[in-house]
Amino acid sequence: MGEPGDDERFVMRVSHADRSETAERLKLAHDEGRLSLTEYDERLQQAYAATVRADLDRLVTDLPPVERTTLPSVRAEAAQVEKAETRREHLTEWRSWAGTSVVLTGIWVVTAFASASDGDGLPFFWPILPIGIWGAVLVAQFFFGTGDDEDDDEDDGGGDGREARRRERD
């Protein structure tokens, strides 16, 4: 069936999200002084009454184009996604820490039983060093962040690789 042509696009029915996006564009235009309050109100009413794409396009044709990513709702949604991704990464770090702790403790238990047969008692619990240091780093990251929040916004190759992983997934 392919992509809808221009004629089909203008008669396509619009969704609530389309209406809200147009309303945000109108609000930005009003905030910039491009629309008077009366004109903004009229266009806003028309935007929420629109049924097809042509109705919405007609309301913003005399306004400069706005990138979708600059709309407040899109930025808020992106912030929520970023927050969820950060939380998921944090939980993944803690799972790795817990798994490594179990493995190191298991190694210590095996070596402790092997050396306990000598009658010397239990050896020093050496896994506390890597477990403790790694845990302290994770707790510090939780409270103070990773310290490279500025680098995530810039495309200079810095940061912790989150942006690169995100691009790979997309």
Helix axes 53-60, 16-31, angle to 10 degrees: 10
Q: Is 59:93 a contact under the CB 8 Å cutoff? A: no
Averaged pLDDT for residues 136-163: 65
- Residue 28: pLDDT band with limits 50, 70, 90: confident
Averaged pLDDT for residues 55-59: 89
Kindly report, residue by residue over 68-104, the tens digit of the pLDDT. 777 777 778 888 888 888 889 989 999 999 999 999 9
Q: Is 46:30 a contact under the CB 8 Å cutoff? A: no
**Mean pLDDT over the full length of the chain:** 80
pLDDT at 129 over 70: yes
Half-sphere exposure of 13 (CA within 13 A, CB side): 2
> Cα(39)–Cα(46) distance, rounded to whole angstroms?
11
